[in-house]
Chains A and B, each alone.
Chain A
Amino acid sequence: DTEVTQTPKHLVMGMTNKKSLKCEQHMGHRAMYWYKQKAKKPPELMFVYSYEKLSINESVPSRFSPECPNSSLLNLHLHALQPEDSALYLCASSRGFGTSGYEQYFGPGTRLTVT
């Protein structure tokens, strides 16, 4: 199974709502990532988890809160978002994270609209 799943596929939320994005992989990967992608732009790294510990936080605003409950699951909790946070949120996983490069497997993404 080389699949990364993400739910929901689409999400519309108001600026006062709290919602969560979910990501799951069953490839035994030990690194998981959240990316944000705006239209016609490259994916921008938000967070990296390695062995369930937060390794990188790319100075993401606190209204985005990641969580890695176990090695297969990654959540992104959303609160008090702004309209400019509307984007495609991609989850990815890889065998490891470190000096050697590891190919990343991406999920289909959650298309988020903040109204």
Chain B
Amino acid sequence: GQQVMQIPQYQHVQEGEDFTTYCNSSTTLSNIQWYKQRPGGHPVFLIQLVKSGEVKKQKRLTFQFGEAKKNSSLHITATQTTDVGTYFCAGKGTGTASKLTFGTGTRLQVTL
């Protein structure tokens, strides 16, 4: 079945440093979504990317979808303590009834 891997598993940064998480799917995706889960919380939708090579920005967050629609990345510029949490990509397969498969997640810790 479809597998979605993320690296790194964990990253600890100082506030103000940049952070990037990478997402790789074993199969071509129709679209990819990103979610953030704060400690003790539930996943919250951040963004969806649909087109090959698409780049979207949300303030300090930049999301990219690879040309082959098999990988994606999330880059955070100048991290803040509010960015702490686990970031999951979630890829949707190309079939009509394809489910969303969550990536393994990257846990981000930010300290002052």
Residues of A within 8 A of B (CB): 40-45, 48, 55-56, 58, 90, 92, 97-101, 103-109
Contact = CB atoms under 8 A, between A and B. Distances in A.
Query: Interface on chain B toward A: helix, strand, loop, or mixed SS?
Result: loop
Given A41-B105, A42-B103, A44-B102, 15 more contacts: A40-B105, A40-B107, A41-B104, A42-B88, A43-B43, A56-B97, A90-B42, A98-B97, A99-B96, A100-B31, A101-B30, A105-B45, A106-B42, A108-B42, A109-B42
Contacts of A41: 104-105
Given A42-B102, A42-B104, A98-B96, A107 B42 contact: yes
Contact of B44 (A40, A99, A106, A109): A106
Nearest to B48: A101
Given A90-B43, A99-B30, A101-B48, A48 B99 contact: yes
Contact of A101 (B42, B43, B44, B92): B92
B100 interface: yes
B59 to A, nearest CB: 18
Nearest to A90: B42
A101 B103 contact: no
The 9 closest A-B pairs by CB, nearest first: A42-B102, A101-B31, A103-B45, A106-B42, A101-B92, A106-B43, A42-B105, A101-B48, A99-B96
A44 B2 CA distance: 13
A42 B4 CA distance: 10
A6 to B, nearest CB: 9
B50 interface: yes
A88 B57 CA distance: 31
A98 B99 CA distance: 8
10 contacts: A42-B104, A42-B105, A45-B99, A48-B99, A58-B99, A100-B30, A101-B92, A104-B45, A105-B45, A109-B42
B46 to A, nearest CB: 9
Contacts of A92: 43
Contacts of A48: 99
